Amino acid sequence: MKYYIISGERSGDLHASNLIRAIKALDPKATFRGMGGDYSKNEGLSLCAHYDEVAVMGFVEVLFGFRKVLKYLSLVKKDILDARPDILILVDYGGFNMKMAAFGKKQNIPVHYYIPPKVWAWNQKRAIKIKEFTDQVYSILPFEPAFFERYGVNIEYVGNPLLDEIAKFEPHPFFHQKNSLSYSPIIALLPGSRKQELTNMMQVMLQVVKKFPNAQFFIAGVDNLGATLYEPAIKAGIKVIYNQTYDLLHHANAAIVTSGTATLETALFRVPQVVVYKTSGISYAIAKRLIRVPFISLVNLIADRKVVAELIQDDYNVENLSQELNLILSNILHKAEILDGYTEIKEKLGTGSASETAAKMICSSLAISH
């Protein structure tokens, strides 16, 4: 079978690559074409475009980058027509992929959505479009099926792929020596994996470092962003540890994490954290009017209550961040409450095997039996 898969950022690319691997185990003759990144490419996805070429985020940023997005929408649509796939699989990346879902449906190509757009957060009526443009949706968040089913969407919770990623992880036996670390408390800084996130988040993180002289702070760096973006940290004497986020979390005593998938990863490593987020003033003003959920972090959304502190926009400042971090490091009861919340979240997520479960359902829909 011919599979066309589209993902649009680092985490989506990782999930897409695991899905490709699981599909190959069920359909050895499968071929894969689409848009993604290095993870998917390494699993055999023939790239029409790399997501790095397309990425824009934030309301204002998307507005100014709209022409670029349109260019790649056209490019990918043409490539789908040329590839003539048996199925179109969309992975996360809601704004772009919803347009591709509409296109796929128009071309009578079965459309399956793995990790659907978070329409429950704002403009919930977009769920009607998901029902209209998709044949099947695979959710990785346990609270999503109940929401989508209200709109008649065919949806299955398949487990969360982070459980599988973390289960595969093996700590580096000499992590401290490899990175020249001491054995004083480690605070992990996770400013994000996108250029705009990093630019918006890092300054306050670096200022907080000075408030905790007895701890060592390290930034979880990603090499796809380029070293120049991390120069402010290096000038401030903060070490950037590239592509070792799980090792860093494995050893961390606390973490400051930009809202996103990393908040859930941090929770699954049982590291007490402060969740932070800041965007442009206009983007935030628009978002504040539209958002329909009480939290921004996956940790609190899955728990359906406040487990970790969230510092958003103007609340994200040196004073507030220092206060929350100090609470984690010095208040044993506060730390225990966070860890109890993490236990509750893991129970809600279930057992994992998300990629394999989704792959079985996809292949079954294409009548591939083994």
| Model confidence, pTM | 0.85
Which of 258, 26, 15 has its CA nearest to residue 160? 15
- pLDDT profile of the chain (370 residues), mean per 10: 94 93 96 97 96 63 61 95 97 93 97 94 86 97 94 96 92 93 94 82 92 95 84 91 96 95 96 90 60 83 96 94 97 97 96 93 81
CATH superfamily of 168-349: Glycogen Phosphorylase B; (3.40.50.2000)
User: Does CATH place domain 2-159+353-365 in 3.40.50.300?
Assistant: no
CA distance 254 to 116: 30
Residues 245-272 as b/e (b if ≥16 CB within 10 A, e otherwise) read bbbbbbbbbbbbbbbbbbbbbbbbbebb
pLDDT at position 291: 63
CA distance 48 to 344: 41
Query: Do 172 and 330 contact (CB within 8 A), yes or no?
Result: no
Same fold across 2-159+353-365 and 168-349 = yes
Q: Can you list the pairs that 238-243 forms with residues at least 24 positions away whose Cβ atoms lie under 8 Å?
A: 238/189, 238/206, 238/209, 239/179, 239/180, 241/179
Residues 146-174 as b/e (b if ≥16 CB within 10 A, e otherwise) read ebbeebebebebbbbbbbbbbeeeeeeee
* Pairing assessment for the beta strands 87-91 and 45-50 based on DSSP bridges: unpaired
Residues 181-216 as b/e (b if ≥16 CB within 10 A, e otherwise) read beeeebbbbbbbbbbbbbebbbebbbebbeebeeeb
pLDDT at position 187: 97
Residue 53 DSSP code: G
pLDDT at position 193: 79
pLDDT at position 59: 45
Query: Do 217 and 255 contact (CB within 8 A), yes or no?
Result: no
User: What residue ranges do the domains of the chain occupy?
Assistant: 2-159+353-365, 168-349
Residue with tokens 């702070």: 217
